[in-house]
Structure 1
Amino acid sequence: MPPAATPVPTPDREGARGGPRRARDPRLLAPAVAGPLTAAVFVLATALARSHPLGPYTRNVVDLGQQYLPYHAYWRAFLLGDTHGDAFLNWNSGFGAGFLGDIGTYLSSPFSLLVVLFPADRPELALYAITVLKIAAAGAAMAALLIRLRPADRTGPWPLAALLGAAYALSGWTFNHGASVPMWLDGLIAFPLLCLVAEWARAGRRPVLGPLVVALAWTANFYTAYMATLGAALFLAVRLFTTGPGGSAEADPGTTAGAGSAAGAGTPAAGSAAVPKATARWRLAVLLRAGWTVGLGVGLAAPLVLVVFSGTKYADPTPETVFAPASWAELFGRFLPATANVDTPALSTGTPALLLALTLPFNRAVAPRVRLAWTALTVLVTLSLQWGPTHLLWHAGASPNGNPYRQTFVLSGLLLIAAWLSAAPGVPRPAALLGATALLGALALAARTSADIDAWSYPAAAAALLLALAALLPAARADRSAASRVLPVAAAVALLVAQAGEAAVSGMRTERQQRADVAWAPRIGPWQRAVAAEVARADAWPAYRTDPGPLPGGNEPLLLGGEGADAYSSLTTENTSRTLDSLGFGHYAKGRHPETLDNPVADAIFSVGARIRSEPTEPVRQDAAPRGTATATTTPVPPLVTVHPAGNATVDPEGSAFRNQELLLGSSVYALPAVRRTGTTLTARCPAGTEVWFWAPDYHGTAALAGGAPADFDGRPPAVRAPMRALGTVPADGEVRVRLAPERAPALPRQSVGCLDRARLAAAVARLTATGATEVTTTGHGLTAELPPGSTGVAVVAVPRATGWRCAAGDAAPVSARSHRGLLAVPLDGRATRVSCAFRPPGVRLGAAAGAAALLALLATALLARHRARRAGAGSHPGRQEFTGRPHEARSSGRNADYAPRRTGA
C-alpha cells in the first residue's frame, strides 16, 4: 500500500491521549477565521499601495470611478428618498433613463445597502468598505465549502480551510478585476455558495434554502452568477463521478464505494460500514434535483434578471469583438503574483496554495479516481479559457468588450478545491511536494517571456515557495513523537506568512500598475463638493434642468445632482446614444457613455436652464483630492414639453449636427457656410459677430480661430466621439479661419463649421416657451404637462424615446410613445390640454410573472418536503431538513472515498 500523507493535528481534533474533541465546530471556525484574515490582507495591500482611504492615491481606476462610485452615491440618495426618480426611472442621467436595469446590473447586491451607513460626502469610503466586505465574504464562503469536503472520519484541518478560503478571495482576479469592478465580486461569493447548493442537491437536502441561495446569487449579479453556476455544475459533475450517496454534506460528504481508493475501487476500509453504491439512477436524481434548484432560483430572480436581459436588447450595441487567446507564456505568467493585465487571465492564487494544488496528481493518499478527475477538470477548464467556443459559453454567447477572461475566478476556486483535497488528510509526502515544485518551476520557466511579469513576480513567488517548502517538508516527514507535534503548528504559521505576505505584495503591485497603466479619475474632493453645492442652489426641476457640467470621471449627475446628458451604463439605449450623437454630443465607451454638451441650442432643446461651469485651481493629481471653483449660469429655456408642427419626425444621424439641432428646435439659428480645406486650415464666411462652432466627432487634436485659444478634440472612433465646441466670435470682416493641429490625419464631416446667431436663438426660445407647456409636473417615473388650449401638431417631451415609454393626450388610453427626431412625442388634435407619459421597464411584467410562478413552485416544494419529512419519521431521513427540527444523524463510520485508506503506524 502506498504511503499516506502525514496527518496534521489541529486545535479541534482529538488530543494525543485520545481526549474528547473540543466543543468547537470547524464548520464555523473555518469561515469565521477566513473572513477577517481575507479582509486584513486586502486592507494591508491597500495600505502598502498607499491607496485611498489608507493613503493619498486614488483607487478610482477605469469603471470604478466612472460607474460604480457615482451609482453608489446615487443609490444612497435613492434609498433615503432624496432623488427625483424611482426604481423604474432615473431622471438625472441621460435626460431620463431607465433605472431598474441599472439596479440589477450595478446595485442589487445586498452589500450595496450599506451605503446608507456612510455620510453623503464619503461615497469612496462606503464603496471601499463594501468591497472589503464582499472579498471577506468570498473567503468565508470558500472556507465553508472546503471544510464540508473534509474526510468523513475526522473534523478536518479548519486552519487550512481558512487559509485556502482567503487565498481564493485574494486571487489575482480579485486584485486585477474584482476590486475595481465591485459588482463582479458577487460572483466570487456565489461560486462557493453554489457549490454548497450542489452538495445539498447531491445529498437530497435543503430543498428550500438551495433555491433561495441561487436566487440571491443571480439577483446580486446575474452575469458572474451565470459563470459561477457553470463552475458549480462542473464541480457537481466531478463529485458525482468520484463520490456516492453518503448522506448530508456536513455528515458524510462523498462516502462511496464507487469512487475507488488506493487499495482498490469499491472496497471500504477495514472495519467500516458498507456504503451505498453510486448508480446511474441516483446520479440522474441528483442532476434533476440540482436542475430544479437552479431553475427555481433563477425564476425567483427573474423580476430583475429579465429586466436586465431586455435592457441589453435595446442597449447601444458595442462593436463585435473577435476573441484572441492569450499566448501560453502570458497565460502561464498570470499564475505568478504581482501581474496585471486586462487582456490576459488573472490566475494567481498564491504560490503556497498553487503548490498544494499541484501536489494532487502526485499525492497517493488521495484516491486515484479523485486525483484523475480533479486534475483533468482543472486542466480542461484552463484550456477552455483559450478556445473560442468555450470562451463564448463562459460569457453567455457574447464575447465581451474589454476583459475577455472574466470567468477566471471559477478556475481559481477549482484550483483551491484541488489544493484542499490534496492537503486535507495531512501534509503531502515529500515526493508529492517535490513533484509539485518541479511543475511550478516548469510553469515559471515557460512564463519567462511574458510581458505581464513584474519585477516583483519572481522574487515574491520564490520567497513564498521557499518558505512553504521549509514548513511543509519537515512536517511531512514528522513522526508521532511529542517533540514533532510543534512542526504542524510551525508549518501552519509559515504557510500563513508565505500566503498572506505574497498576497499583500501582489495586491500592492497590482494597484500601482493599474494607476500607471489605465485610465483613472481623481478622488472626491473640494472641487466636486463645490459643484454639488452650486447644483443644489440652482436646481429647479422640473421647471428646467440643471447640468453639473463635465468633471474628470463621469456620471456627474448621479454623483453631484442635477439632470444632465452624462450617463455611463451598460444599458444606455441605442436611441439615446444615436440621438445625442446626431445633435453634436460626444461619447465614450463606444456610445454607452454620452457626455454633456455645453451648447446653447442643445440647452434649449433639452430645457437645460442652469449650467455649472467649473475649473480646477491646481493640476489634477492621483495623490491629492482635486480643488476647483464652480459657478452657475442660468439661461431662459423652453419648458420640458413643447409643441411643434406635425410632419417629418426623423433625424439623419449621418447629416449635419447643426441642421439636426435646428430641426428639433424648429427654427434656423445657424449660418452654415461652405467650408474650404487647405491642408490643416479651414476657411469659411459667416455673419460678423456670430459664434463659430466646430463639429468633428472623429477628430483628434486641437482647433482654433486665428488668434484664439485652441480647443481640444479627443475623437478616437469607435470608442470616443468628440463633442462640438465653440471656437470664438466671427470677426468684423466675416472671414473664419480654423487652424487644425491634428495628431493624425483629420477626418472631418462635410459640415464641420456652424455660426450661431444668438438673436435668432432667443426668438426661437421665446416662441417655444409661448406655445409650450404652461405647467410640468413629474413623478418617480412619469410626467404630466398642461398645454395651452387648442394646441395642435405634436407635443415633444425633451426625453430620449426608449422602449417602455407610454404616453396619452387628454383622457385617451396610454399607448407606446412615438418618436419625434429621437424624443418622446404625443400627437395633438386641438382638444387635449394635457399630455402624460410614464415609463415601465421592458421585461418587468414578464419578470414579475416568472417570479410569481417560481415562488409558487418553491412553496409547493417546501410543502412536499415537509410532507415527506413527516412521513419519513424520526431518524429515517439523513441530515437536517428545514422543517423537521431533528438533529443530524450520527456520523457514518465509513471513510471518505476521496481519500485512500491510511496505513497504520505511518
Structure 2
Amino acid sequence: MGWLTTRAVSLAAGHARSGAVRTLPGGPVSPATKAAPDQGNPASTAGERRPPTGGAWARGLRGAGGRLLAHARRSAATRAGLAAAVLACVVFCLGSLLAGSYPLGSHTRNIVDLGNQYLPYHAYWRKMLLGGADGDLFVNWNSGFGSNFLGDFGTYLSSPFDLLVVLFPADHVELALYVITTLKITAAAAAMAVFLLRLRRGPWQVAAVLGVAYALSGWTLDNGATVPMWLDGLTAFPLLCLVGEWARAGRRPVLGPLVVGLAWVANFYTAYMATIGAAIVLLIRLFTADESGRRRLRGLLHAARGVLIGIGLAAPLVLVIFKATKVADPTPVVVFDPVAWRDFAARLLPATTSTATPALFIGTPALVLALTLPFNRAVAARTRAVWSAALVLVALSLNWEPTHLIWHAGASPNGIPYRQTFVLCGLLVIAAWLSGADGLPALPALLAGGALVLALAAAGHGREVVDRWSYPAFAAALLLGILAAAALLLARRRGPGARVLPVVALALFVLAQGGETAVTGMRVAQLQLKEVSWSPRLGPAQDDMAAAVAARDDWPRTRTDPGNVPGGNDEMVVGGQGAEYYSSLTADDTSWTLSELGFGYYAKGRHTMSLDNPVTDAIFSIGTRMHSQPLAPPRTDQVPRAVTTSTTSAVPPLVTVRGGLRLVEAKQHWDPSAFVNQETVLGAKVYDPAAPIVRTDPAKGSAVLTTTCTPGAQVYFWAPQYTGDATLAGGRPVGFDGHLPAVRGAMQAVGTVPASGTVKVALSFVGHLRLPQQSIGCLVRSRLDAAVRQLTATGATDVRVDGHTLTADLPAGSTGTAVVAVPRISGWRCSAGDGHATSARTYWGLIAVPLDGGADSISCSFQPPGLRLGGAVGAGALVCLVATGWWYRRAGRRAGARAEAAVA
C-alpha cells in the first residue's frame, strides 16, 4: 500500500517488544516483558513498572541493554517481513511458471473480470496519468458514452500500488498488472509476519512462513489474484490488527488512523471486511489479556477513535462510491445458499477451485499447527478456549445468512459469495502462530491436530471441488510436515546433529508449505481456464485497432467507436468513445437507455455493448465505426490477431437543437419496440411503418417470420431473449445470444430487402421462442440521411470537451432544447449562455438543456455525487486527526516534564 504501508510495517517492526517507557494520555504504557505462557501477550504486564534504581551507572546499563534488546527484536521483525515477502513472491511466481501462465508462460491470465475490468482499467489509468486519456478523474469519455470515473477509480484503481502502471510501456500493461498483483501479495505476507511477531515472541523464520501461508491462501489463489483490488484487503487485515495493538497500548494515535484511512481508500469493500476481522482480533486480545477492565475499555475506545477518524479521512472517495452504487444498474436480488459443510471442509485441501465455496486452504502444515491450539497445554486455557471458539464462530458466520449479510454490508453479492474468507484464513494463521511460537507443540497436541486435519480431509473426499492433485499434494505436504516435526523432536534430545536438525526441520517446513502452495497455484490457474470465461492476452489485434482509432479520431466533433474487440471495456485499451462499458457502478440510466434503444448487455446490465446501427450512430454522433475480424478463433496460449477496417458516415454533432420537445421521465414512456424508441430519440421516422409479421413453424426449433418492407431497405432483427440464428432469405446466418436477465441480445442487421419487398427471416433455435411484437425493422437510408442533415444544420457549430466539462456554441437565436448525446447520469449540471447552472434535464435518457433564444452556447459540468459531502466529512476527520496528534504531543511533554521533576 505504498509508502504508508511500508512506514506502518517498519514502525511495527521497530516497536515490536520495544522496551521504551512512554506515558500517554489514558495511562502509562509499560515496556514489553516476557510473555507468560498462558497469555500469549508479551506486551501485557501484571502492574506498573517500578522506577529504576542503582544510580546513573545502573540506569545507563539498563538503557543500553534495552536498546540492544529492542534492536534485536526490530531485526527479527524486519527479517521476518523481508523473508515472507521474498518467499511469497517466489512461490506465487513458481505457481505461474508451472501453470504456463503469462508472463512466465504463454497462457492468458485474463480470467473473467481480470481481463474484462482490471486490465482495461489499468490501461486507461496509465493513459490518464500520462496525459493521453479522453477525460479526467471525474469523467471517462471513452466508455458508456461518458461515465463517472471517480467512482470506478475508487472501486478498481485507488490502491497506491496501481500507480506503478506508469513504469511500464503501454504494450506491457498485462505485465504491470502481474507485478502489481505480486507486490500486493508480498506486502500482505510481510505485514502478517510482522504482526505475528508483535502478537507474541517466536522464531522469525516460522513467522515468515506463516505470513506466506496467509498471503497465498486459497482465497488469494482462487479469488484475489483474479480480482486484484481485493488484495488490498488482504494487506489491510494484518495492518489493522497492528492498529488494534497500538490502540491497546495507547500508541501511534496519528499513524493508526492514517493506516485505517489508507486501507479504506485502497479498497473500501475488503477493508470493511478486514476491519471486522481486526475488531474480532482486538476483542479476543482484550478478553484474554491480564488487564483491568478500565484498561480494556481505554484500548477499545482508542481503537474506535482511530477507526472512525480513518474512515472519515477516506470519506471523499467512499461516499462517491456509495452514491454511485445507489444509482448503479440493479442486479437481480441474490438469495444466499449456504454451502454443504463437506464442501466447506474440502476447500481446506490444496488444488481446489470454485466460485461458490470458500477457499480456505492455508497449507497443510499451517493447518495442522492451527488445529493443535485447542490441545496445546503450553498455551493458557483461556487463550485456547477463546481463540478456538472465535475460529468456530467465524467459520459458522460464513455459512449463516444473517452474518453473511453483515460480512457483505447488507447485500449478498453476485458472483463469489464468500469474499470474506481471507479473514478466516488470517485467523487460522494467527492460531497456528500462537500454538507454535514457543516451539513445536507436544506430541499429544500434534496427534490431535493431525487427526482433526485427517478427519476434515476425509470429509471432503468425493466432493466436486476436489481435484486429482488435491490428495497427493496433501499427502506429500503432510509427510514433509511429519518429517519436520520428527527432526525437531530428535533435536530436543541433544544427540549428534542436534544443531543441524532444526535447520533441516525448517527446510522441510518451507518445502511442505511452499511446494503445496505452488502446486495449488498451478492447478487453480489451469482449472480456471477450463471452467470459467476468459479473455485472450493483449496482442496485435488490439495494437492494430488502437493505431486505426488514433488515426481516425475526431473527438469531440464526432465519436469513434472501436466496436467489440476481444475482451471487455475495449475503449479503455484501444481508445475511442463507444458504448461498451463494464463496471460494478454502471449507471442504471445508462444501461436502461441503451437497452431500450436496442443495445445488448452482459453481466445483468452492467456490461453494456457496442451496437452497429446507423440510427444509434446518428443519435450518439458516431462518425467512424471500426470493425475487427479475427483471423482465428481465440486460444488461451496465443495472442489475438485480426483484420481492422472502418466505415465513416455523416452524423450530427454531439449537441443538437430540437424544437417542441416534451421532457419526460423516459422509463415511464419507452415504447415496447426498440425501433420506435430510436425514432423518438432521433426525432424522425426512418423505419418502415410496422407491418404485420406472419410466423410459421415448419419444424421443431425453427420458425419463419414474413413481412413486407421498402425494397432496398436494411433489415434489422431485434429479440433481446432470442438465442439462435436468424437468416434473411438468400443471406448468411447471424447469431444471437440472449439469456435474460444475464445477457440481453443486441439488434443486428440480417440483410437487405429484395426487390419484391417480401422479407423472410428464418430462425433456428433451441428451447422456447420468445419474440417482441415488432422484431423486424426495415431502415430506409434516405430518410435517415435527411434527418441527419436537418440535425446538423441546427446543431452546435463547435463542441469542446475539457476533462469533465463540455461546452458547445449554438446558432444564434436557438430555441427549444439542446440535446447532448451523453447519458444523463447523476452529477451533471448545465447552463445556457451565462445562466446559472442547474441539475441537467433529461430527454429520453440524454442530457437536455432548455433554450430561450437568448443564449448562443451551453455548458455542462460533471461532479460525482457524494464528493461535496465526502469532502466535508474528510476535512472534519483531518481536523480531528490533527487535534488528536496535538493533544497527545502536549500531554506527552507534560508527562515527560513530570518524570524529570520526579527524578530530580
Work out which of the residue numbers 806, 822, 827 in structure 2 matches 1:783.
806
Residue type matched to 1:116 in 2?
A: V
Q: Distance in 2 between matches of 1:642 and 1:502?
A: 63
Aligned equivalent of 1:421, options 429, 434, 444: 434
- Give the 3 Å change call, closer, same or farther, for CA 829–27 of structure 1 in structure 2: same
Secondary structure in 2 aligned to 1:609? strand
Counterpart amino acid of 1:703? Answer: A
1:662 matched to 2:676? The reply is: no
| Structure 2 equivalent of residue 888 of structure 1 | none
Residue-by-residue CA offset, 1:276-312 (whole Å, 9 max, x unaligned): xx22222111111111000000000011001000110
Q: 2:185 pairs with 135, 138, 162, which one?
A: 135
1:641 is aligned to 655
Residue 629 of structure 1, CA deviation? 1.1
Aligned to 1:397: 410
**One-letter identity of the residue aligned with 2:599:** F
Q: Which amino acid aligns with 1:621?
A: R
Q: Confirm or deny: 8 A CA contact 1:538 1:632 kept in the other structure.
A: no
TM-score (norm 1): 0.90
2:718 is the alignment partner of 1:718: no
Aligned 8 A contact 1:578 1:653 in 2: no
Amino acid of the residue matched to residue 549 of structure 1?
G
2:294 pairs, out of 281, 291, 301, with 281
CA distance in 2, matches of 1:872, 1:560: 62
User: Out of 508, 529, 541, which is 2:555 matched to?
Assistant: 541
| Residue of structure 1 equivalent to 2:875 | 852
Match of 1:630 in 2: 644
Q: Is the 8 A contact 1:392 1:399 kept in 2?
A: yes
The one-letter amino acid paired with 1:149 is: L
What secondary structure, in the 3-state scheme, does the structure 1 residue paired with 2:768 have?
coil
> Is 1:78 matched with 2:101?
no
Determine if contact 1:430/1:473 at 8 Å carries over to the other structure.
no
Amino acid at match of 2:253: P
> Which residue of 592, 608, 612 corresponds with 1:578?
592
1:347 to 360, 369, 372: 360
- TM-score, normalised to structure 2, is 0.90
Q: Among residues 197, 203, 214, which one is paired with 1:168 in the alignment? A: 214
Matches within 5 A, 1:478-517: 478-479=491-492, 481=494, 483=496, 484-517=498-531
- Which has a greater percent of helix? 2
Report how far residue 653 of structure 1 moved: 4.0
**Alignment match, 1:363:** 376
The separation in 2 between residues aligned to 1:408 and 1:43, in whole angstroms, is: 23
| Higher mean C-alpha displacement, 89-98 vs 642-651 | 642-651
Shift, 1:476, TM fit? 3.2
2:238 aligned partner = 192
Q: Which residue of 1 is the match for residue 110 of structure 2?
A: 60
Unaligned stretches of 5+ residues in structure 1: 8-19, 244-255, 257-277, 878-906
Q: What is residue 885 of structure 2 aligned with on the other side?
A: 862
Shift of 1:485: 2.7
Asked whether the equivalents of residues 4 and 364 of structure 1 are also in contact (C-alpha less than 8 Å), the reply is: no
Q: Report which stretch shifted further, 300-309 or 671-680.
A: 671-680
Match for residue 550 of structure 1?
A: 564
Cα distance between partner residues in 2 of 1:563 and 1:34 = 44
Q: Residue 478 of structure 1: CA displacement?
A: 3.5
CA drift at 1:648: 3.0
Letter of the 1:422 counterpart: S
- Compute the displacement of 1:184 (Å): 0.2
Q: After superposition, where does 1:108-507 map in structure 2 within 5 Å? A: 108-151=158-201, 156-243=202-289, 256=290, 278-476=291-489, 478-479=491-492, 481=494, 483=496, 484-507=498-521
Which secondary structure state, in structure 2, belongs to the residue aligned with residue 392 of structure 1? helix
Q: Which residue, out of 592, 602, 610, partners 2:624?
A: 610
Following the alignment from structure 2 to structure 1, what is the Cα–Cα distance between the partners of residues 127 and 564? Answer: 21
Q: CA deviation at 1:701?
A: 1.0
Q: Which amino acid aligns with 2:404?
A: H
Q: Secondary structure of 1:148's match?
A: helix
- Is 1:872 the counterpart of 2:872? The answer is no
Cα shift at 1:654: 5.3
- The answer for the alignment partner of 2:14 in structure 1 is none
8 Å Cα contact 2:671-2:677 kept in structure 1:
no
Unaligned runs of 5+ in 2: 1-35, 41-67, 698-702
Amino acid at match of 1:196: L
Are 2:756 and 1:751 aligned? no
Q: C-alpha root-mean-square deviation of aligned residues, in Å?
A: 1.6
Provide the rounded CA distance (Å) in 2 between the counterparts of 1:849 and 1:145. Answer: 34
Partner of 2:60: none
Displacement of 1:707 in angstroms is 2.1
Cα 1:654/1:424, change in 2 over 3 Å: farther
Q: 1:875 Cα deviation (Å)?
A: 10
For the Cα contact (< 8 Å) 1:53–1:125, is it kept in 2? yes
Asked whether the 8 Å contact 1:804–1:840 carries over to 2, the reply is yes
Q: Is the 8 A contact 2:37 2:380 kept in 1?
A: no
1:676 maps to 2:694: yes
Question: CA–CA distance in 1 between the matches of 2:696 and 2:280?
Answer: 64
Higher alpha-carbon deviation: 701-710 or 223-232: 701-710
Three-state SS of the structure 2 residue aligned to 1:727 is strand
CA contact (8 A) 1:617 1:627 kept: yes
Question: For the structure 1 residues 875 and 733, does the alpha-carbon distance in structure 2 shift closer, same or farther, using more than 3 Å as the test?
Answer: farther
Distance (Å, rounded) in 1 between the aligned partners of 2:661 and 2:861: 24
- Bigger mean CA deviation after superposition, 843-852 or 646-655: 646-655
Q: Percent identity?
A: 60
Question: Aligned partners of 1:794 and 1:678: how far apart in 2?
Answer: 46
CA positional deviation for 1:673:
2.2
Q: What SS does the aligned partner of 2:220 have? A: helix
Q: Does the C-alpha gap of structure 1 residues 489 and 442 become closer, same or farther in structure 2, counting only changes over 3 Å?
A: same
Question: Are 2:601 and 1:601 aligned?
Answer: no
Q: Would the alpha carbon gap of residues 144 and 171 (structure 1) be closer, same or farther in structure 2, given more than 3 Å must change?
A: same
CA distance in 2 between counterparts of 1:479 and 1:757 reads 91
* Cα distance change, pair 875–703 in 1 and its aligned pair in 2 (3 A): farther
Partner secondary structure for residue 848 of structure 2: strand
Structure 2 residue 583 is the aligned partner of structure 1 residue 569: yes
Structure 2 partner of 1:252: none
1:25 matched residue in structure 2: 75
* 2:148 counterpart residue number: 98
In structure 2, the residue matched to 1:16 is none
**AA aligned opposite 1:236:** L
CA distance in 2, matches of 1:623, 1:653: 45
Selected match of 2:86 from 36, 47, 63: 36
Deviations 1:822-848 (A, max 9, x none): 100001111111111100000000011
Residue matched to 1:89: 139
Structure 1 residue 619, shift from structure 2 partner: 2.1
Please tell me the residue identity of whatever aligns with 1:842: P
Q: SS of 2:199's equivalent?
A: coil
Q: How far apart, in 2, do the equivalents of 1:416 and 1:183 lie?
A: 22
Q: Distance in 1 between matches of 2:639 and 2:566?
A: 12
Cα separation, 2, equivalents of 1:873 and 1:480: 50
SS in 1 for 2:647: strand
Contact 1:222-1:305 within 8 A present in 2 as well: yes
CA distance in 2 between counterparts of 1:424 and 1:622 reads 44
The number of equivalent residue pairs is 825
1:827 aligns with 2:859: no
Aligned partner of 1:17 in structure 2 is: none
Would the aligned equivalents of 1:673 and 1:754 in 2 still touch at CA under 8 Å? no
**Aligned mates of 2:620, 2:474 — CA distance in 1:** 57
Give 3-state SS (helix, strand or coil) of 2:103's partner.
coil
